[in-house]
Amino acid sequence: MQDIYNGISATRLDGAVWRKSERSNSQGACVELARLDSATVAMRNSRDPKGTALIYPADAVRAMVSALRAGDFDDLLGS
């Protein structure tokens, strides 16, 4: 198993299959996700695919997506 740590270069995540939301715009300012194993998800900036990847437990990503769907962060977007 490869040594995976928070802040690793996305290019070092062997076999990662990156995806972004179908709702992403053409501006390229998107977050891409890759499932690394059953318990770990990586995130990177789509504008910098060779840049840093942040590594999160899958449960934390699940909780974030749930909160986004519930509108918990809508206030950060302004009116």
Residues 15-48 have pLDDT tens digits of: 999 998 887 877 767 899 999 999 999 999 999 9
E strand segments, 3-77:
8-9, 31-37, 40-45, 52-57
**Over 80: is that where the pLDDT of 79 sits?**
no
In a domain, 25, yes or no: yes
Q: Which domain holds residue 22?
A: 8-74
In a domain, 37, yes or no: yes
**Over 60: is that where the pLDDT of 59 sits?**
yes
Give me the chain's average pLDDT, please: 91
Nearest partner of 9 among 55, 41, 57, 47, judged by Cα: 55
Domain count along the chain: 1
At 72, is the secondary structure helix, strand, or coil?
coil
pLDDT of 22: 83
